[in-house]
């Protein structure tokens, strides 16, 4: 049994809070993600659930907020944004050492790597792509008051808040000095673009890897809402575009981006499709590209700090040195993208 699950206590909680769930339960780590721990839970009848909780060690400020995830997915339950059905939140840390929530397991395909799309033809890839954009536009334009999410965060200064948040997270978990990270933070802060339009719900890490495709290649569920806030939709889309790689790209966020599959449209076409669907000016994307490389460096440095402390978040962790080297490469990509931009 995983150290982060107190099986008897969680079993008692599930019997009380998850309608129809039948003990005994099995708890298996889902090998994805390096932040919150995600478990597949199977009950005695073969019914599947998912349990999410923070990692067992080294919680960085503002990270791993499963309570926030639970609130957001519960609020979206009856909207046009597809999310799993959520059964409940346990805020009592005496149960298994941290808050957790339980939701339904959604069957489908997750595109984590190019191989995951190998049997998809152009029609399937275009359907998935349009659904990815339509779903993002749906949560960017959702009625925040009607869903009860208007008080999730401030509605102004999103980019400024992002620059502050990620710098503070790096600084609070600091395990080494990174002068280039600090220099780029100053340069980005001096050239912040104007908002692209009214603020909306920003997922914070939206990509195929955080969605589940149904049999019809439409988005069946959007996952991993821990970074969600209220902000500039263009900033949120720009982060998504960092995962949309073309053949020949030398610097990528993922080891084997699914969009390298030749049946997917190329990045420029994707940007045009988004601009048309959302009716949004995308001329500030170069600035956001620099910002995204910088932000990713901050995130990976957080992984580096947790790895030094022995926490993996349930995912595969390579050597600590290789993580640090990846941070350095990511900062170098940010510096290259910044030429003539900031």
110-134 mean pLDDT? 97
What domains appear along the chain, each with residue ranges and CATH number? 24-104 (3.30.200.20), 114-337 (3.90.1200.10)
Q: Where are the beta strands (DSSP E) in the chain?
A: 26-29, 37-42, 48-53, 86-90, 100-104, 200-202, 211-213, 219-222, 229-231
pLDDT band at 65 (very low <50, low <70, confident <90, very high): confident
Which is more confidently placed, 264 or 36? Answer: 264
Query: Which percentage of the chain shows pLDDT scores above 90?
Result: 86
As a whole number, mean pLDDT of residues 74-88 equals: 97
Instruction: Report the distance separating Cα 23 and Cα 42, nearest Å.
Output: 9
pLDDT at 95: 97
What are the strands of the beta sheet with 37-42, ordered from one edge? 26-29, 37-42, 48-53, 100-104, 86-90
- Average pLDDT of every residue of the chain: 93
* Cβ atoms within 10 Å, residue 173: 20
pLDDT of residue 318: 66
**Lowest-confidence region among 36-40, 204-208, 338-342:** 36-40
> Cα(78)–Cα(81) distance, rounded to whole angstroms?
8
**Residue 5 has which token pair?**
């699950």
Average pLDDT in the 259-288 region?
97
Q: Biggest alpha carbon distance in the chain?
A: 60
Lowest mean pLDDT among 23-27, 59-63, 126-130, 143-147: 59-63
- For residue 145, pLDDT beyond 90: yes
Over 70: is that where the pLDDT of 332 sits?
A: yes
**Distances from the Cα of 271 to the Cα of 37, 140, 148, 281, 285, angstroms:** 33, 16, 31, 10, 9
pLDDT of 61: 45
- Measured CA to CA, the distance from residue 259 to residue 31 in angstroms comes to 21
Residues in Cβ contact with 144 at an 8 Å cutoff, skipping those fewer than 6 apart? 150, 152, 200, 201, 230
How high is the pLDDT of residue 63? 54
- pLDDT band of residue 297 (cuts 50, 70, 90) is very high
The answer to whether residue 129 scores a pLDDT higher than 90 is yes
**Rounded Cα–Cα distance for residues 47 and 25 (Å):** 10
Q: Is it the case that residue 27 has pLDDT exceeding 90?
A: yes
pTM of the model: 0.90
Q: Say what percent of the chain tops pLDDT 70.
A: 94
What's the confidence (pLDDT) of residue 338?
A: 98
């Amino acid at each position: 049994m995983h150290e982060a699950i107190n099986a008897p206590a969680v079993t008692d909680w599930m019997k009380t809070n998850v309608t129809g769930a039948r003990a005994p339960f099995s708890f298996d780590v889902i090998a994805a993600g390096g932040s919150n721990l995600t478990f597949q839970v199977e009950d005695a009848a073969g019914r599947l659930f998912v349990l999410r909780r923070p990692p067992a060690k080294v919680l960085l400020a503002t990270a791993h907020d499963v309570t926030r995830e639970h609130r957001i997915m519960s609020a979206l339950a009856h909207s046009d944004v597809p999310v799993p059905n959520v059964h409940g939140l346990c805020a009592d840390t005496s149960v298994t050492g941290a808050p957790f929530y339980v939701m339904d397991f959604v069957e489908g395909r997750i595109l984590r790597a190019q191989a995951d799309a190998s049997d998809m033809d152009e029609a399937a890839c275009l359907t998935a792509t349009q659904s990815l954009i339509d779903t993002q536009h749906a949560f960017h334009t959702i009625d925040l008051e009607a869903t009860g999410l208007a008080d999730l965060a401030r509605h102004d200064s999103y980019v400024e808040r992002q620059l502050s948040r990620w710098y503070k997270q790096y600084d609070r978990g600091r395990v080494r000095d990174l002068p280039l990270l600090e220099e780029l933070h100053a340069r980005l802060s001096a050239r912040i673009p104007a908002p692209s339009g009214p603020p909306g719900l920003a997922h914070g890490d939206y990509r195929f890897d955080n969605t589940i495709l149904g049999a019809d290649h439409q988005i069946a569920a959007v996952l991993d809402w821990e970074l969600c806030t209220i902000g500039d939709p263009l900033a949120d889309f720009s982060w998504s575009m960092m995962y949309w790689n073309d053949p020949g790209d030398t610097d990528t966020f993922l080891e084997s981006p699914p969009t390298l599959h030749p049946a997917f449209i190329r990045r420029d076409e994707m940007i045009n499709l988004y601009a048309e669907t959302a009716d949004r000016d995308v001329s500030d994307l170069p600035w956001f590209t620099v910002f995204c490389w910088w932000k990713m460096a901050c995130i990976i440095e957080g992984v580096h700090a947790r790895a030094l402390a022995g926490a993996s978040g349930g995912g595969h962790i390579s050597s600590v040195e290789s993580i640090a080297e990846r941070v350095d490469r990511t900062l170098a990509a940010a510096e290259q993208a910044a030429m003539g931009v900031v």
